[in-house]
Amino acid sequence: MWAYIVRRLALASLAVAGVLVIVFFLSHIIPGDPVAAILGPQAPNDVIEDLRRRYGLDRPVPEQFYRFVARLVRGDLGDSLATHRPVIRDLREFLPATIELATAAILIGVLAGLSVGVISAVARGRPLDHAVRFLSLIGLSMPVFWLGLILLFIFYFKLNLVPGPGQLDIFLSRPPTVTGLITVDALLARDFATLWNALGHLLLPAVVLGSHALVGIARITRASMLEVLGQDYVKVARAKGLSERTVVLKHALRNGLLPIITVIGIYYGGLLEGAVLTETVFAWPGLGRYATSAILSQDFAAIMGVTILIALVFSLANLLVDLAYGFLNPKIRYE
């Protein structure tokens, strides 16, 4: 297994390098001057040129790429034109919020999606199955930003059951930073008032993101369960007199988890990219908003930092999914 992991990490490094090259040169081909865009149309030309020299943007693109790679080897992603801070510091600030939101969303999607998919498969062809499939189709077609606005209008504005946008109420201060995750840091600090408030702020955006993961997981769970429920060993288990719950959960679901794990890994990797629309609607200070701001302002250093992070996240997610196969099915051997 260790040899397999080393090979996968080597392939992941090549993939990240390929993405790095493509995104770097594409971002520099796009017309426009990021320095002029940030300083504004009234900025003097000598100030613009001075800032371009300071960030090395007056150099040829191949030379800029060489300098970027040289800094990257030392763990330096450069400074952001927009925030005037090291990009790696920005990523450390924005990534924990995205991890917190993505983890809560995938937990909702997995728990609800598995339940809905199993129920739909067991009740195949019955009214319950048709109702679940119809609702899944509606959920898949519903725009994320629209669902977020509707939930905010109902549960925050009308019913006042949950807090508004953001991570915390404005009168609350963040707990001492240990992990960067507000809920975890509040729990470690035993600040239960802040913990409860943070969970309230987290609920609606997690439900919005988790709803799309829920639909995808439910659909693949139903398809996988229908295939497994028709196998001979499931019929034998029922013939032995085992309860339907044991047959479904222990024999069928366990053997149908491989494609479900794949979908979960893909969804979680996608959520860790940062959900731009959801983070915008709920004023969530995550990676998606940071990446969007970097693209709109042509902040090359920030764009490259986000690109590298996303490529690493997807590579790691795919590796973890492949390793999970071996735990779910002992017959799988890594070569």
Q: Report d(CA 320, CA 318) in Å as an integer.
A: 5
Evaluate whether residue 22 is within a structural domain: yes
* pLDDT band, residue 239 (cuts 50/70/90): confident
Evaluate whether residue 154 is within a structural domain: yes
Q: Do 155 and 34 belong together in one domain?
A: no
Q: Do 124 and 203 belong together in one domain?
A: yes
Q: Which residue has the higher pLDDT, 98 or 241?
A: 98
Q: Do 23 and 139 belong together in one domain?
A: no
Say which range, 51-55, 162-166, 198-202, 225-229, has the weakest mean pLDDT: 51-55
- Residue 286 sits in a domain whose CATH number is 1.10.3720.10
pLDDT higher than 80, residue 30 = no
Each residue of 146-185: pLDDT tens digit?
888 888 889 988 888 888 888 888 888 888 888 889 999 9
Q: Do 109 and 216 belong together in one domain?
A: yes
Evaluate whether residue 86 is within a structural domain: no
Q: Do 188 and 67 belong together in one domain?
A: no
The domain containing residue 162 runs over which residues? 93-328
| Model pLDDT, residue 108 | 92
Domain boundary among 29, 45, 73: 73
| Model pLDDT, residue 203 | 92
Residue range 105-122: average pLDDT?
Answer: 91
Evaluate whether residue 82 is within a structural domain: no
Q: Do 60 and 126 belong together in one domain?
A: no
Each residue of 277-302: pLDDT tens digit?
788 888 888 888 888 888 877 788 88
Q: Do 241 and 145 belong together in one domain?
A: yes
Evaluate whether residue 335 is within a structural domain: no
Say which range, 10-19, 92-101, 321-330, has the weakest mean pLDDT: 321-330
Q: Do 97 and 68 belong together in one domain?
A: no
| Model pLDDT, residue 200 | 92
Residue range 105-131: average pLDDT?
Answer: 89
Q: How many domains does the chain have?
A: 2
- What 224-232 contacts at long range (C-beta under 8 Å, 24+ apart), as own/partner pairs, is 224/117, 224/256, 224/257, 224/258, 224/259, 224/260, 225/117, 225/118, 225/121, 225/122, 225/252, 225/253, 225/256, 226/121, 226/124, 227/256, 228/252, 228/253, 228/255, 228/256, 229/121, 229/122, 231/255
Cα 75 from chain centroid (whole Å): 23
| Model pLDDT, residue 105 | 92
Q: What is the pTM of this model?
A: 0.85
pLDDT higher than 80, residue 263 = yes
Q: Do 172 and 265 belong together in one domain?
A: yes
| Model pLDDT, residue 79 | 84
Does residue 198 contact residue 183 with C-beta atoms inside 8 Å? yes
How much of the chain exceeds pLDDT 70, in percent? Answer: 95
Residue range 241-267: average pLDDT?
Answer: 84
pLDDT, averaged across the chain: 84
Each residue of 54-96: pLDDT tens digit?
777 778 888 888 888 888 888 888 888 878 888 899 998 888 9
Domain boundary among 38, 73, 108: 73
pLDDT higher than 70, residue 316 = yes
pLDDT higher than 80, residue 2 = no
Q: Which residue has the higher pLDDT, 125 or 101?
A: 101
